[in-house]
Structure 1
């Protein structure tokens, strides 16, 4: 189970990097984070909602690219060969499945918190 969580987190980080967001403080080299704090500068890390929004936008872009490549292949475009279409399709499918898995885990975490006794 922890391997699947690590895998999903790795995919989210990859999507985050593709979208071009900055790395969270935990992923920065310690010297930069400590130096920023020592100088009084807050090291800005993206919020969870920004990271999630970026990941969803990345999934959407991957699906649109896949659809465009498939349509170009169907039209007989010379630049859209079958290998590119299949790779783009698998990438968008994997990204979508990872997003659904993250959503499921968030819903489960929400339900667990709501069911906690006070």
Structure 2
């Protein structure tokens, strides 16, 4: 269930579908965010483990292609950097909310 979908990036009449906030409860939003975050962290962890395994296999002289090791390492690095940036944005948003006066 993807609430936002782009029909065509070049057609201004087909934009982003609006999200109907009244149809999602805060509990559902929290559960959805938690599941998405857990899934993303799990995928990053899997990529890191796969990269470590291939690097270890290469170091031990097992039959593994060098380009596979390098590609896997770069994928793991990029996914980790993206995760760090998302975390930084979440922390910034939290800090901004905490600075708000009520």
TM-score scaled by length of structure 1 = 0.62
5 Å-filtered alignment, 1:99-110, equals 99-110=83-94
Which protein is bigger by CA-based radius of gyration? 2
1:50-103 CA-to-partner distances (Å, cap 9, x unmatched) read 10110000000000000000011111111x111001100000000000000000
Tell me whether 1:115 sits opposite 2:99 in the alignment.
yes
Report runs of 4+ in structure 1 exceeding 3 Å deviation.
none
Q: Which residue of the partner structure matches residue 52 of structure 2?
A: 67
For structure 1, which runs of at least 5 residues remain unmatched after alignment?
1-22, 30-43
Query: In the aligned structure 1, how far is the partner of 2:2 from the partner of 2:36?
Result: 10
Query: In the aligned structure 2, how far is the partner of 1:85 from the partner of 1:75?
Result: 13
Higher helix share: 1
Q: Which residue of the partner structure matches residue 43 of structure 2?
A: 58
Deviation at 1:25, TM superposition (A): 3.0
Number of positions where the alignment pairs a residue of Structure 1 with one of Structure 2: 81
Tell me: higher relative CO, structure 1 or 2? Use CA pairs within 8 A at least 6 residues apart: 1
* Cα RMSD after superposing both structures: 2.3
Structure 1 residue aligned with 2:4, among 20, 26, 42? 26
TM-score scaled by length of structure 2 = 0.72
